[in-house]
Structure formats: structure tokens, C-alpha cells
């Protein structure tokens, strides 16, 4: 079908950056010729092929710019290993209304219980649904903001953590935070308060945050804002990382009953 009109159409589609339409034109034209496809269905079919491919590409771009350390999915989460996680509650959160409502999620618990897995899975789901997401550890965020003070890029770096619809702050509590670091966390949390969602993971209970942030007043102010509109998961149990080892040793770990009640965590 190398007529002049065809060649021009191919060139125009490429110039308009519609490569999928160009690629599929032949097969659609053949299909249209051998059936009673209307002009509208012909064009509509071609256009939706392009739209689907563009959407797939933008999901990939959003996932890439979210900077997840490893991609995780809620489908791969084994709730039978971790009965302290309420599957129904996670399911409700996966509809992502918490992002529209600017609410926060906090996963607290010891090492290896799936905090980062759940946070990342919800983040990936958000990327797939069109939200801009950024994943960071607290330590990385503090380092970026600290370094930005030296070259006067603080306002733009702060924006980087404030703008995404969902900010995931992982690993609060493992490494000590300087007073300046605690101030940076406060600024990010305060700027996002009721304007953007945060998912945060921590191995420390709220009562220990004063120590983690080196300042009990800042810790209280950060927690006050984080918890006002939030869902808290207090995950108790064994490390999934050590599961295989324990199986080999013939002593499958037992999990304690958990509570997701904020009040018990706030002590
Ligand atoms: N219930 C689970 N089902 C399937 N995989 C799990 C489960 N819990 C944890 N994992 C896997 O185990 C590993 C450790 O989990 P994850 O990194 O989420 O732990 P964590 O709670 O964030 O630990 P840490 O506090 O040390 O960072 C990951 O590979 C994760 O995918
Ligand atoms: Mg983790």
C-alpha cells in the first residue's frame, strides 16, 4: 500500500510522534478493508493503541522517577506469614483514596516484617494510577537537604519532597538524626500536612521518636501532624528474611497478635 497518500500519512504520524499508529496502520487498514468497520471505529481503534502505549510508558516513567529501591507488589505479600497485618485494611488503602484525602500511613515494627514491601507496593500502585510518587529513606532525604544548604538549592530540593502526591519516607529510627535533620523532617511533614500524603516506616515506637530525632518537642510536632489523618499499622512478628533459615532449622517462627490502635502506640 505504498501510495503517495499512504507515505504522507506515515510521515505525518511520525512527525506528530504517533509511532504506534504508524506501526499499526497496515494491520488496521487490512482489517477495515475485510470487515464493515466504520471510519470512526477504524480511527478510534488506532488512536486507542497509541493511548495505551503512551499510558504504559508514563507509568514506567513515574515508577522510574519514584526511585523505589526494589519493586514490590501487594499480590506477592504473604498475609499468612504476617497475620498482624489486616489484609482488608491494606486492600482498602490500595484504592488510593488516602492520597486524594491527603492522609498518611505509618508502618511500625521490627526488621524484616514487610514494612518497606507494603510501602513500596502502595507506591507502585499509586504510580500505576497516575500519581507522582517519591521514595526516600529519612537518612537520604536529610543528606540531600543538608547538602542543598551549601549551594543555595534548599528551596528547590525541599520542593522535590513536598510536590509529589505521595512521599514515602523509609527507615525512620535506624540511624540517628542530627538536630538539623530533625528540623528538615519537620519542614517536610509540616509543608505536606493536609496537602500531600506520606507513607512512613519505622522500627521505633512513637514513644521513642524524641530520642530518634534528638528533640522531643520536634518529635511531638512531627507526630501530631503525621497522625492527625492517618492509618497506623503496628506490625509484630518474625523477620521474613529469616523465614527460610528458620524453616531449615525446623522451628517456624511464631507471630504475636498485633494491634493497629494508635492509642496503644502513643502510650
Ligand atoms: N509477608 C510477606 N510476604 C512476602 N514477602 C515478604 C513479607 N514480609 C517481608 N517480605 C519480604 O522480605 C524482605 C524484607 O521485607 P521488608 O524489606 O519489607 O522488611 P522491613 O520491615 O522494611 O525491614 P527493615 O526494618 O529491616 O527495613 C523483602 O524482600 C520483602 O519483600
Ligand atoms: Mg525496610
> Over the stretch 102-127, which tens digit does the pLDDT of each residue have?
999 999 999 999 999 999 999 999 99
**Residue 200 confidence (pLDDT):** 98
Average pLDDT over residues 89-111: 97
Q: Is 117 in the pocket of ligand 1 (CB under 6 A)?
A: yes
Q: How far apart are CA 6 and CA 190, in angstroms?
A: 58
CB atoms within 10 A of CB 111: 11
Please say if the pLDDT value at position 240 is more than 80: yes
The mean pLDDT of 174-200, rounded to a whole number, is 96
Mean per-residue pLDDT over the chain, rounded: 91
Among 73, 113, 255, the mutation site with the greatest number of ligand 1 atoms within 8 A of its Cβ is 113
What number is the average pLDDT over the span 40-63?
A: 95
Residue 115 Cβ inside 6 Å of ligand 1? The answer reads yes
pLDDT band at residue 48 using 50, 70 and 90 as cut-offs: very high
> Which ligand lies nearest the alpha carbon of 253?
1
Residue 188 has pLDDT above 80, yes or no: yes
Three cell numbers, residue 78 = 504473604
Q: Say which DSSP state 70 is in.
A: S
CA of 112 to the centre of ligand 2 (A): 7
Decide if pLDDT at 261 tops 60. no
Mean pLDDT of 126-154: 96
Of 146, 187, 165, residue with least CA distance to 65: 165
pTM: 0.86
Q: Decide if 184 contacts 136 (C-beta within 8 A).
A: no
Residue 146 CA to ligand 1 centre (angstroms): 29
**CB of 73 closer than 6 A to ligand 1?**
no
Report the atom number in ligand 1 closest to the C-alpha of 113.
Answer: 21
Indicate the angle between helix axes 179-192 and 216-228, nearest 10 degrees: 20
84 lines ligand 1 (CB under 6 A): no
**What pLDDT is recorded for position 82?**
87
For the cut 70, the answer to whether the pLDDT of residue 39 exceeds it is yes
Share of the chain above pLDDT 70, in %: 92
The answer on pLDDT for 252 being more than 70 is no
Element (H, E) at 115: helix 115-128
Give me the half-sphere count of Cα atoms (radius 13 Å) on the Cβ side of residue 66: 31
What's the gap in Å between 44 CA and the centre of ligand 1? 44
* pLDDT tens-digit series, residues 191-218: 999 999 999 999 999 999 999 999 999 9
81 C-beta closer than 6 A to ligand 1: yes
- b/e map of 189-219 (b: 16 or more CB within 10 Å)? beebbeebbbbbbbbbebeebbebbebeebb
**pLDDT (tens digit per residue) in 54-63:** 999 999 999 9
> Of all atoms in ligand 1, which is nearest to the CA of residue 72?
31
Asked whether the beta carbons of 197 and 191 are under 8 A apart, the reply is no
Closest CA to 226 of 183, 171, 188, 267: 188
Q: Is 232 helix (H, G, I), strand (E, B) or coil?
A: strand
> Binning pLDDT at 50, 70 and 90, where does residue 90 land?
very high
Amino acid at each position: 500500500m505504498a501510495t503517495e497518500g499512504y507515505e504522507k500519512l506515515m510521515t505525518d504520524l511520525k512527525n506528530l510522534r504517533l509511532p504506534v499508529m504508524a506501526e499499526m496502520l497496515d494491520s488496521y487498514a487490512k482489517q477495515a478493508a475485510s470487515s464493515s468497520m466504520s471510519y470512526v471505529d477504524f480511527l478510534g481503534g488506532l488512536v486507542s493503541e497509541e493511548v495505551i502505549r503512551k499510558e504504559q510508558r508514563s507509568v514506567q516513567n513515574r515508577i522510574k522517577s519514584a526511585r523505589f529501591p526494589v519493586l514490590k507488589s501487594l499480590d506477592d505479600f504473604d498475609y499468612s506469614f504476617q497475620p498482624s497485618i489486616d489484609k482488608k485494611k491494606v486492600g482498602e488503602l490500595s484504592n488510593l483514596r488516602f492520597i486524594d484525602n491527603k492522609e498518611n500511613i505509618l508502618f511500625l515494627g521490627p526488621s524484616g516484617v514487610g514494612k518497606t514491601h507494603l510501602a513500596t507496593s502502595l507506591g507502585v500502585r499509586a504510580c500505576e494510577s497516575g500519581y507522582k510518587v517519591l521514595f526516600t529513606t529519612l537518612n537520604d532525604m536529610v543528606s540531600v537537604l543538608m547538602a542543598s544548604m551549601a549551594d543555595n538549592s534548599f528551596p528547590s530540593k525541599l520542593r522535590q519532597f513536598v510536590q509529589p502526591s505521595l512521599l514515602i519516607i523509609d527507615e525512620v529510627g535506624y540511624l540517628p538524626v542530627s538536630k538539623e535533620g530533625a528540623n528538615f523532617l519537620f519542614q517536610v511533614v509540616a509543608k505536606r500536612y493536609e496537602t500531600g500524603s506520606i507513607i512512613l516506616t519505622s522500627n521505633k515506637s512513637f514513644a521513642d521518636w524524641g530520642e530518634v530525632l534528638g528533640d522531643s518537642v520536634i518529635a511531638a510536632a512531627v507526630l501530631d501532624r503525621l497522625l492527625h489523618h492517618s492509618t497506623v499499622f503496628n506490625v509484630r512478628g518474625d523477620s521474613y528474611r529469616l523465614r527460610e533459615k528458620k524453616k531449615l532449622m525446623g522451628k517456624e517462627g511464631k507471630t504475636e497478635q498485633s494491634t493497629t490502635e494508635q492509642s496503644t502506640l502513643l502510650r
